[in-house]
Structure 1
Amino acid sequence: MSDQDEQVPVIPLREAPGERAAWGRGPAWVIAWMLVEWLLVTNALQPSSRIRVAALRAFGARIGDGVIFRQRTRVKFPWNLEIGEDCWIGEGVWFHNQDRVVIGHDVVISQESFITTGSHAHRRDMALITRPVVIEPGVWVTSRCIVTGGVTLGRSCLVSPAAVVMKDVPAGRIVSGNPAQDAGARFQPQPRRG
Protein backbone atom coordinates (compact mmCIF):
# COMPACT_ATOMS: atom_id res chain seq x y z
CA MET A 1 0.00 0.00 0.00
CA SER A 2 1.36 3.38 -0.96
CA ASP A 3 1.54 6.46 1.28
CA GLN A 4 -1.09 8.06 -0.96
CA ASP A 5 -3.50 5.13 -0.35
CA GLU A 6 -3.07 5.48 3.41
CA GLN A 7 -4.19 9.12 3.21
CA VAL A 8 -7.63 8.13 1.86
CA PRO A 9 -9.99 7.92 4.86
CA VAL A 10 -12.09 4.90 5.85
CA ILE A 11 -15.58 5.60 7.24
CA PRO A 12 -16.11 3.90 10.64
CA LEU A 13 -19.39 2.06 10.01
CA ARG A 14 -20.23 1.49 13.68
CA GLU A 15 -20.64 5.26 13.94
CA ALA A 16 -22.99 5.58 10.90
CA PRO A 17 -26.23 7.23 12.04
CA GLY A 18 -29.82 6.43 11.18
CA GLU A 19 -30.58 2.69 10.93
CA ARG A 20 -33.00 2.34 13.86
CA ALA A 21 -34.46 5.78 13.22
CA ALA A 22 -36.05 4.35 10.06
CA TRP A 23 -37.80 1.49 11.88
CA GLY A 24 -40.89 3.48 12.77
CA ARG A 25 -41.79 0.91 15.46
CA GLY A 26 -40.17 -0.50 18.58
CA PRO A 27 -37.74 -3.46 18.53
CA ALA A 28 -40.34 -5.99 19.78
CA TRP A 29 -42.74 -5.10 16.93
CA VAL A 30 -39.95 -5.27 14.34
CA ILE A 31 -38.81 -8.68 15.63
CA ALA A 32 -42.41 -9.97 15.63
CA TRP A 33 -42.76 -8.84 12.01
CA MET A 34 -39.49 -10.56 11.05
CA LEU A 35 -40.84 -13.86 12.40
CA VAL A 36 -44.24 -13.50 10.68
CA GLU A 37 -42.56 -12.45 7.42
CA TRP A 38 -40.31 -15.52 7.53
CA LEU A 39 -43.18 -17.92 8.27
CA LEU A 40 -45.98 -16.50 6.12
CA VAL A 41 -44.65 -14.11 3.47
CA THR A 42 -41.21 -15.17 2.22
CA ASN A 43 -41.79 -18.87 2.83
CA ALA A 44 -41.86 -20.63 -0.56
CA LEU A 45 -43.79 -23.53 1.03
CA GLN A 46 -46.67 -21.25 2.03
CA PRO A 47 -48.74 -21.05 -1.19
CA SER A 48 -51.59 -18.71 -0.15
CA SER A 49 -51.56 -15.11 -1.35
CA ARG A 50 -54.50 -14.42 0.99
CA ILE A 51 -52.45 -15.43 4.04
CA ARG A 52 -49.58 -13.23 2.88
CA VAL A 53 -51.88 -10.23 2.42
CA ALA A 54 -53.58 -10.86 5.79
CA ALA A 55 -50.18 -10.97 7.56
CA LEU A 56 -49.08 -7.72 5.89
CA ARG A 57 -52.36 -6.00 6.81
CA ALA A 58 -52.06 -7.21 10.42
CA PHE A 59 -48.74 -5.35 10.62
CA GLY A 60 -50.08 -2.12 9.13
CA ALA A 61 -49.84 -2.47 5.34
CA ARG A 62 -52.74 -0.91 3.46
CA ILE A 63 -53.56 -3.33 0.65
CA GLY A 64 -56.57 -3.11 -1.66
CA ASP A 65 -58.79 -5.96 -2.80
CA GLY A 66 -57.64 -8.34 -5.51
CA VAL A 67 -53.91 -8.04 -4.78
CA ILE A 68 -51.84 -11.15 -5.51
CA PHE A 69 -48.59 -11.65 -3.56
CA ARG A 70 -46.46 -14.56 -4.78
CA GLN A 71 -44.02 -16.58 -2.66
CA ARG A 72 -40.64 -15.36 -1.46
CA THR A 73 -41.78 -11.71 -1.36
CA ARG A 74 -40.04 -9.58 1.29
CA VAL A 75 -41.36 -6.44 2.96
CA LYS A 76 -38.97 -4.66 5.32
CA PHE A 77 -41.63 -2.62 7.15
CA PRO A 78 -45.26 -3.36 6.20
CA TRP A 79 -46.47 -0.22 7.99
CA ASN A 80 -44.71 1.75 5.21
CA LEU A 81 -46.52 -0.04 2.36
CA GLU A 82 -49.69 0.98 0.54
CA ILE A 83 -50.96 -0.96 -2.49
CA GLY A 84 -54.09 -0.23 -4.53
CA GLU A 85 -56.56 -2.78 -5.86
CA ASP A 86 -55.88 -5.54 -8.41
CA CYS A 87 -52.07 -5.51 -8.30
CA TRP A 88 -49.75 -8.44 -8.96
CA ILE A 89 -46.56 -8.75 -6.91
CA GLY A 90 -44.27 -11.40 -8.42
CA GLU A 91 -42.20 -14.07 -6.76
CA GLY A 92 -39.10 -12.79 -5.00
CA VAL A 93 -40.01 -9.08 -5.09
CA TRP A 94 -38.33 -7.18 -2.26
CA PHE A 95 -39.75 -3.97 -0.79
CA HIS A 96 -36.85 -2.55 1.23
CA ASN A 97 -39.16 0.21 2.44
CA GLN A 98 -37.53 2.20 5.20
CA ASP A 99 -39.75 5.02 3.91
CA ARG A 100 -43.21 4.94 2.27
CA VAL A 101 -43.87 2.88 -0.85
CA VAL A 102 -47.20 3.84 -2.40
CA ILE A 103 -48.48 1.75 -5.31
CA GLY A 104 -51.59 2.59 -7.33
CA HIS A 105 -54.16 0.14 -8.68
CA ASP A 106 -53.54 -2.35 -11.53
CA VAL A 107 -49.75 -2.38 -11.08
CA VAL A 108 -47.51 -5.34 -11.87
CA ILE A 109 -44.15 -5.73 -10.14
CA SER A 110 -42.52 -8.78 -11.67
CA GLN A 111 -40.16 -11.42 -10.30
CA GLU A 112 -37.06 -10.51 -8.32
CA SER A 113 -37.52 -6.73 -8.58
CA PHE A 114 -36.13 -4.59 -5.77
CA ILE A 115 -37.85 -1.41 -4.57
CA THR A 116 -35.69 0.47 -2.06
CA THR A 117 -36.34 3.72 -0.24
CA GLY A 118 -33.08 3.87 1.70
CA SER A 119 -29.48 4.54 0.85
CA HIS A 120 -26.46 5.96 2.59
CA ALA A 121 -24.99 9.38 2.19
CA HIS A 122 -21.89 9.39 0.06
CA ARG A 123 -20.39 11.70 2.66
CA ARG A 124 -18.03 11.09 5.50
CA ASP A 125 -20.57 9.51 7.89
CA MET A 126 -22.59 6.99 5.76
CA ALA A 127 -25.82 8.35 7.32
CA LEU A 128 -29.02 6.61 6.26
CA ILE A 129 -31.14 8.70 3.89
CA THR A 130 -34.69 7.61 3.09
CA ARG A 131 -37.05 8.91 0.41
CA PRO A 132 -40.44 7.49 -0.62
CA VAL A 133 -41.23 5.67 -3.86
CA VAL A 134 -44.51 6.30 -5.70
CA ILE A 135 -45.71 3.88 -8.37
CA GLU A 136 -48.78 5.27 -10.13
CA PRO A 137 -51.70 3.19 -11.51
CA GLY A 138 -51.07 0.87 -14.46
CA VAL A 139 -47.27 0.68 -14.12
CA TRP A 140 -45.45 -2.52 -15.07
CA VAL A 141 -42.06 -3.04 -13.41
CA THR A 142 -40.76 -6.10 -15.23
CA SER A 143 -38.37 -8.72 -13.83
CA ARG A 144 -35.20 -7.96 -11.87
CA CYS A 145 -35.52 -4.18 -11.88
CA ILE A 146 -34.26 -1.80 -9.22
CA VAL A 147 -36.23 1.32 -8.25
CA THR A 148 -34.51 3.70 -5.82
CA GLY A 149 -35.79 6.16 -3.23
CA GLY A 150 -37.32 9.44 -4.32
CA VAL A 151 -38.58 8.03 -7.64
CA THR A 152 -42.09 8.37 -9.05
CA LEU A 153 -43.05 5.95 -11.80
CA GLY A 154 -45.70 7.75 -13.86
CA ARG A 155 -49.08 6.28 -14.80
CA SER A 156 -48.84 3.20 -17.05
CA CYS A 157 -45.10 3.48 -17.67
CA LEU A 158 -43.08 0.28 -18.25
CA VAL A 159 -39.69 -0.50 -16.71
CA SER A 160 -37.82 -2.98 -18.94
CA PRO A 161 -36.09 -6.07 -17.46
CA ALA A 162 -33.05 -5.37 -15.28
CA ALA A 163 -33.41 -1.58 -15.52
CA VAL A 164 -32.11 0.57 -12.68
CA VAL A 165 -34.43 3.54 -12.12
CA MET A 166 -32.93 6.46 -10.21
CA LYS A 167 -35.11 9.31 -11.50
CA ASP A 168 -38.78 9.89 -12.24
CA VAL A 169 -40.35 8.22 -15.26
CA PRO A 170 -43.11 10.11 -17.10
CA ALA A 171 -46.54 8.58 -17.67
CA GLY A 172 -46.81 6.15 -20.58
CA ARG A 173 -43.08 5.87 -21.26
CA ILE A 174 -40.79 2.82 -21.44
CA VAL A 175 -37.40 2.96 -19.75
CA SER A 176 -34.52 0.50 -19.98
CA GLY A 177 -30.88 0.11 -19.02
CA ASN A 178 -28.61 1.10 -16.15
CA PRO A 179 -29.21 3.88 -15.48
CA ALA A 180 -32.68 3.69 -16.98
CA GLN A 181 -33.17 5.84 -20.08
CA ASP A 182 -36.25 6.64 -22.14
CA ALA A 183 -36.90 3.96 -24.78
CA GLY A 184 -40.13 5.28 -26.27
CA ALA A 185 -43.86 5.28 -25.73
CA ARG A 186 -45.58 2.25 -24.20
CA PHE A 187 -48.82 2.82 -26.12
CA GLN A 188 -49.20 4.03 -29.68
CA PRO A 189 -51.92 6.61 -30.35
CA GLN A 190 -55.08 5.07 -31.76
CA PRO A 191 -56.36 6.53 -35.05
CA ARG A 192 -59.63 8.43 -34.77
CA ARG A 193 -62.62 6.82 -36.38
CA GLY A 194 -65.20 8.52 -38.38
Structure 2
Amino acid sequence: MARQIDYKSTLTVAADGHEDPYLRPSFSLGNRLLRLVWNITWLLLYRTSPRPFHAWRSMLLRLFGAKVGPNCHFYPGSKVWAPWNFVCGEQCTLGDGSEVYNPSVITFAEHVIVSQQGYICGATHDYDDRHFPLLSYRMHFGAYSWICARANVSPGVNVGEGAVLGLASTATRDLEAWGVYAGSPAVKVKDRRNFLHEVK
Protein backbone atom coordinates (compact mmCIF):
# COMPACT_ATOMS: atom_id res chain seq x y z
CA MET A 1 0.00 0.00 0.00
CA ALA A 2 1.36 3.41 -1.01
CA ARG A 3 2.28 5.76 1.80
CA GLN A 4 -0.05 8.71 2.17
CA ILE A 5 1.61 12.07 2.76
CA ASP A 6 0.01 13.79 5.75
CA TYR A 7 1.93 17.09 5.62
CA LYS A 8 3.93 18.89 2.93
CA SER A 9 5.72 22.02 4.06
CA THR A 10 5.41 23.99 0.80
CA LEU A 11 1.61 23.70 0.98
CA THR A 12 1.51 25.10 4.50
CA VAL A 13 4.37 27.54 5.09
CA ALA A 14 4.87 30.67 2.96
CA ALA A 15 8.24 31.25 1.33
CA ASP A 16 8.60 34.57 3.22
CA GLY A 17 10.86 36.03 0.57
CA HIS A 18 13.48 33.27 0.73
CA GLU A 19 14.95 32.92 -2.74
CA ASP A 20 16.88 29.83 -1.72
CA PRO A 21 14.27 27.11 -1.02
CA TYR A 22 16.66 25.44 1.41
CA LEU A 23 16.31 28.47 3.71
CA ARG A 24 12.54 28.23 3.74
CA PRO A 25 11.15 27.06 7.11
CA SER A 26 9.36 23.72 7.18
CA PHE A 27 6.94 24.68 9.95
CA SER A 28 4.90 27.68 11.01
CA LEU A 29 6.23 30.21 13.51
CA GLY A 30 3.68 29.00 16.08
CA ASN A 31 4.89 25.43 15.70
CA ARG A 32 8.52 26.47 16.08
CA LEU A 33 7.78 28.52 19.20
CA LEU A 34 5.83 25.65 20.79
CA ARG A 35 8.70 23.28 20.08
CA LEU A 36 11.10 25.77 21.65
CA VAL A 37 9.05 25.79 24.86
CA TRP A 38 8.82 22.00 24.79
CA ASN A 39 12.58 21.63 24.24
CA ILE A 40 13.32 23.86 27.21
CA THR A 41 10.87 21.85 29.31
CA TRP A 42 12.47 18.59 28.14
CA LEU A 43 15.96 19.86 28.95
CA LEU A 44 15.16 21.27 32.40
CA LEU A 45 12.38 19.01 33.71
CA TYR A 46 12.21 15.82 31.68
CA ARG A 47 15.85 14.99 30.92
CA THR A 48 17.02 15.74 34.47
CA SER A 49 14.31 13.79 36.29
CA PRO A 50 15.27 10.63 38.22
CA ARG A 51 14.89 7.37 36.29
CA PRO A 52 11.97 6.01 38.37
CA PHE A 53 9.86 9.17 37.76
CA HIS A 54 7.93 7.74 34.82
CA ALA A 55 4.64 9.29 35.91
CA TRP A 56 6.29 12.74 36.03
CA ARG A 57 7.56 12.44 32.46
CA SER A 58 4.18 11.16 31.28
CA MET A 59 2.57 14.19 32.90
CA LEU A 60 4.95 16.57 31.09
CA LEU A 61 4.10 14.95 27.77
CA ARG A 62 0.38 15.27 28.53
CA LEU A 63 0.81 18.96 29.39
CA PHE A 64 2.00 19.44 25.81
CA GLY A 65 -0.91 17.55 24.30
CA ALA A 66 0.21 13.91 24.23
CA LYS A 67 -2.43 11.25 24.81
CA VAL A 68 -0.64 8.79 27.09
CA GLY A 69 -2.12 5.69 28.68
CA PRO A 70 -1.37 4.49 32.23
CA ASN A 71 1.82 2.79 33.42
CA CYS A 72 4.08 3.97 30.61
CA HIS A 73 7.84 3.97 31.11
CA PHE A 74 9.51 6.90 29.38
CA TYR A 75 13.13 7.05 30.46
CA PRO A 76 14.84 10.43 30.96
CA GLY A 77 17.07 10.06 27.90
CA SER A 78 14.11 9.48 25.56
CA LYS A 79 12.67 12.23 23.42
CA VAL A 80 9.38 12.92 21.65
CA TRP A 81 9.77 15.67 19.05
CA ALA A 82 6.15 16.90 19.19
CA PRO A 83 4.13 15.60 22.15
CA TRP A 84 0.89 16.96 20.65
CA ASN A 85 1.35 14.42 17.82
CA PHE A 86 1.94 11.45 20.13
CA VAL A 87 -0.83 8.98 20.97
CA CYS A 88 0.21 6.15 23.22
CA GLY A 89 -1.65 3.25 24.82
CA GLU A 90 -0.98 1.75 28.24
CA GLN A 91 2.31 0.23 29.38
CA CYS A 92 4.49 1.57 26.54
CA THR A 93 8.23 2.12 26.89
CA LEU A 94 10.74 4.56 25.40
CA GLY A 95 14.29 3.60 26.40
CA ASP A 96 17.16 6.00 27.00
CA GLY A 97 18.40 7.59 23.79
CA SER A 98 15.28 6.62 21.84
CA GLU A 99 13.58 9.31 19.79
CA VAL A 100 10.18 9.71 18.17
CA TYR A 101 10.38 12.30 15.37
CA ASN A 102 6.71 13.00 14.72
CA PRO A 103 5.74 16.06 12.68
CA SER A 104 2.54 14.06 12.01
CA VAL A 105 0.65 11.88 14.46
CA ILE A 106 2.39 8.67 15.51
CA THR A 107 0.25 6.16 17.42
CA PHE A 108 1.44 3.41 19.74
CA ALA A 109 -1.05 0.75 20.79
CA GLU A 110 -0.55 -0.83 24.22
CA HIS A 111 2.72 -2.47 25.30
CA VAL A 112 4.84 -1.00 22.50
CA ILE A 113 8.57 -0.87 23.28
CA VAL A 114 11.24 1.27 21.65
CA SER A 115 14.55 0.22 23.20
CA GLN A 116 17.70 2.27 23.76
CA GLN A 117 18.65 4.54 20.85
CA GLY A 118 15.77 3.32 18.71
CA TYR A 119 14.71 5.98 16.21
CA ILE A 120 11.24 6.47 14.77
CA CYS A 121 11.49 8.82 11.77
CA GLY A 122 8.16 10.31 10.75
CA ALA A 123 9.34 12.65 7.99
CA THR A 124 11.66 13.06 5.04
CA HIS A 125 12.16 15.53 2.16
CA ASP A 126 11.09 15.40 -1.49
CA TYR A 127 14.53 15.41 -3.07
CA ASP A 128 13.03 15.50 -6.61
CA ASP A 129 11.45 18.89 -5.90
CA ARG A 130 13.82 21.88 -6.13
CA HIS A 131 12.07 23.38 -3.09
CA PHE A 132 13.08 20.28 -1.08
CA PRO A 133 9.82 20.30 0.95
CA LEU A 134 9.45 18.33 4.16
CA LEU A 135 7.00 15.43 3.89
CA SER A 136 5.59 13.75 6.97
CA TYR A 137 3.43 10.68 7.49
CA ARG A 138 1.08 9.28 10.08
CA MET A 139 2.40 6.01 11.50
CA HIS A 140 0.99 3.24 13.67
CA PHE A 141 2.69 0.69 15.93
CA GLY A 142 0.60 -2.33 16.85
CA ALA A 143 0.19 -3.74 20.33
CA TYR A 144 3.18 -5.65 21.71
CA SER A 145 5.48 -4.55 18.89
CA TRP A 146 9.14 -4.09 19.79
CA ILE A 147 11.73 -1.84 18.17
CA CYS A 148 15.04 -3.17 19.49
CA ALA A 149 18.06 -1.09 20.50
CA ARG A 150 19.53 1.14 17.77
CA ALA A 151 16.88 0.05 15.26
CA ASN A 152 15.30 2.60 12.92
CA VAL A 153 11.83 2.89 11.42
CA SER A 154 11.63 4.88 8.18
CA PRO A 155 8.99 7.52 7.38
CA GLY A 156 5.52 6.15 6.71
CA VAL A 157 6.32 2.61 7.85
CA ASN A 158 3.67 0.93 9.98
CA VAL A 159 4.52 -1.83 12.43
CA GLY A 160 2.07 -4.67 12.88
CA GLU A 161 0.86 -6.15 16.14
CA GLY A 162 3.58 -8.13 17.87
CA ALA A 163 6.22 -7.41 15.20
CA VAL A 164 9.89 -7.26 16.24
CA LEU A 165 12.56 -5.14 14.53
CA GLY A 166 15.95 -6.55 15.52
CA LEU A 167 19.05 -4.86 16.90
CA ALA A 168 20.34 -2.00 14.69
CA SER A 169 17.98 -2.95 11.85
CA THR A 170 16.20 -0.49 9.55
CA ALA A 171 12.56 -0.94 8.56
CA THR A 172 11.87 0.57 5.13
CA ARG A 173 8.57 -1.25 4.54
CA ASP A 174 5.60 -2.12 6.73
CA LEU A 175 6.24 -4.94 9.19
CA GLU A 176 3.69 -7.74 9.25
CA ALA A 177 2.02 -8.71 12.50
CA TRP A 178 3.97 -11.21 14.60
CA GLY A 179 6.96 -11.20 12.27
CA VAL A 180 10.59 -10.91 13.37
CA TYR A 181 12.72 -8.69 11.13
CA ALA A 182 16.46 -8.06 10.93
CA GLY A 183 18.96 -6.35 8.66
CA SER A 184 19.23 -3.08 6.79
CA PRO A 185 16.90 -2.96 5.01
CA ALA A 186 15.06 -5.32 7.34
CA VAL A 187 13.70 -8.60 6.02
CA LYS A 188 11.50 -11.10 7.77
CA VAL A 189 13.58 -13.88 9.31
CA LYS A 190 10.97 -15.81 11.29
CA ASP A 191 7.54 -15.69 12.89
CA ARG A 192 6.97 -14.75 16.50
CA ARG A 193 4.61 -16.83 18.60
CA ASN A 194 1.27 -15.05 18.71
CA PHE A 195 0.56 -15.36 22.41
CA LEU A 196 -2.43 -12.99 22.24
CA HIS A 197 -4.56 -15.13 19.97
CA GLU A 198 -3.64 -18.63 21.05
CA VAL A 199 -6.51 -20.94 21.84
CA LYS A 200 -6.48 -21.60 25.58
Q: Same fold (TM over 0.5)?
A: yes
In structure 1, C-alpha distance between the alignment counterparts of 2:166 and 2:33, rounded to whole Å = 39
Task: Specify the code of the residue in structure 1 equivalent to 2:81.
Answer: K
Corresponding residue to 1:102 among 84, 107, 123: 107
In structure 2, C-alpha distance between the alignment counterparts of 1:126 and 1:179, rounded to whole Å = 24
8 Å Cα contact 1:133-1:148 kept in structure 2: no
1:54-110 superposed Cα distances (whole Å, 9 cap, x missing partner): 110000000000101112111111000011001121111111111111000011111
Task: Specify the code of the residue in structure 2 equivalent to 1:19.
Answer: S
Moved more, 46-55 or 89-98: 46-55
The question of 1:63 aligning with 2:68 is answered yes
Corresponding residue to 1:159 among 147, 150, 165: 165
1:147-180 superposed Cα distances (whole Å, 9 cap, x missing partner): 1121110000111001111110110101111011
1:29-58 superposed Cα distances (whole Å, 9 cap, x missing partner): 222111101112233x54321211111000
8 Å Cα contact 1:90-1:109 kept in structure 2: yes
Residue 91 of structure 1: aligned partner = 96
Q: Which runs of 4+ in 1 moved over 2 A?
A: 25-30, 40-43, 188-193
Identical amino acids, percent of aligned pairs: 23
Residue 176 of structure 1: aligned partner = 182
The question of 1:77 aligning with 2:82 is answered yes
How far residue 188 of structure 1 moved from its aligned partner, in angstroms, is 7.3
What is the TM-score of this pair, normalised by structure 1? 0.83
In structure 2, C-alpha distance between the alignment counterparts of 1:34 and 1:52, rounded to whole Å = 13
Q: Indicate how the Cα distance of structure 1 residues 98 and 142 shifts in structure 2: closer, same or farther if over 3 A, else same.
A: same
How far residue 14 of structure 1 moved from its aligned partner, in angstroms, is 4.5
What is the RMSD computed on CA atoms of the aligned residues? Answer: 2.5
Q: Indicate how the Cα distance of structure 1 residues 35 and 188 shifts in structure 2: closer, same or farther if over 3 A, else same.
A: closer
In structure 2, C-alpha distance between the alignment counterparts of 1:139 and 1:18, rounded to whole Å = 34
Give the count of matched residue pairs: 179
Q: Indicate how the Cα distance of structure 1 residues 178 and 65 shifts in structure 2: closer, same or farther if over 3 A, else same.
A: same
Moved more, 162-171 or 47-56: 47-56
Larger-gyration structure (1/2):
1
Structure 2, unaligned runs of 5 or more:
1-17
What is the TM-score of this pair, normalised by structure 2? 0.81
